[in-house]
Copies of this chain bind each other. A is one copy, B any other.
């Protein structure tokens, strides 16, 4: 791991517009999936107002069952792009196919590689060739070393702008959807110069656990958070049990910003 290791560089700052990730705290928020214009715009305005500085929305959804909602594709990307422009928020979406990487770049600011594709090496090489930052989620079965090797694939292919995202690993525990491994945050900082954020939504799978784990992630040293917000969770087409309502997100965001201020004082 020549390129991702701490020895090679002090600290990577990933620039997205005037946001300097690794320095500024990244607060990604938005729905699991882009569903409708109303949903996307309502949520975008709400998270913008609450303090989010990046908007998420899935257009290609990796779903366990082929009969579950698979995302709106291009139509979803266009809605996401417009919601981003209207609110002034940069946007991020997941890519799951090598054939989509280059054209999806025309609609979004950051590409996401999901947990199930962490070791999709063809996809890693492909996002390594474009000039958009990449958010690389940890596989649910992945050691830190394997994860960093996946980042190395992207850097080696020419793209230095990689942000890591801890999203929980799979264990025997069933109360939570995954086991959020917050020790990965300080551990990763010992091993690499890349920024790391935390996804408490998939990491816990439970609305009630998202606020305490978000705050814990901040204190553990995370460079940001990615939180799913939906204007009406019970009607969400995916992940409805783990999406925060805009008002819940707003309260949490304020707590996070206050905690960050305390930590910097």
The complex places the Cα of A137 from the Cα of B192 at a distance, in Å, of 32
Known: A185-B212, A212-B185. A65 touches B149 (CB 8 A): yes
Q: Does A8 contact B (CB under 8 A)?
A: no
Which residue in B98, B139, B156 is a CB contact (below 8 Å) of A97? B98
**Which residue in chain B gives the minimum CB-CB distance to A3?**
B66
> Which of B156, B187, B209, B213 sits near A66, CB closer than 8 Å?
B156
Judging by beta carbons under 8 Å apart, are A213 and B204 in contact? Answer: no
Given that A141-B172, A181-B179 are known contacts, is A62 also in contact with B213, CB under 8 Å in the complex?
no
> Is there contact, CB below 8 Å, between A179 and B183?
yes
A234: interface (CB < 8 Å): no
Tell whether, in the assembled complex, residue B180 and residue A180 are in contact, meaning their CB atoms are under 8 Å apart. Answer: no
Q: Is the CB of B209 within 8 A of A183?
A: yes
Q: How many residues of A contact B (CB 8 A)?
A: 64
Interface string of A126-165 (1 = CB under 8 A from B): 0000000000000111011110010011001100000000
Q: Tell me if A176 counts as interface (CB < 8 A to partner B).
A: yes
Could you say which of B64, B143, B145, B180 contacts A146, with CB atoms under 8 Å apart? B64
* Identical chains bound together, number: 4
Given the interface contacts A139-B141, A220-B215, does A121 sit within 8 Å of B183 by beta carbon? no
Contact status of A96 and B122, CB under 8 A, knowing A180-B182, A215-B219, A216-B216: yes
Contacting chain B: which of A39-47, A85-93, A112-120, A237-245? Answer: A112-120
Q: Is A217 an interface residue (CB 8 A)?
A: yes
Q: Are A187 and B175 in contact, CB atoms less than 8 angstroms apart?
A: yes
Contacts of A259 on B, CB cut-off 8 Å? 219, 262
Q: Please state if A122 and B139 are interface contacts (CB–CB under 8 Å).
A: no
> Any chain B CB within 8 A of the CB of A32?
no
Complex Cα distance A220/B86, Å? 35
Nearest neighbor of A214 in chain B, beta-carbon distance: B219
- List of B residues within 8 angstroms of A264 by Cβ: none
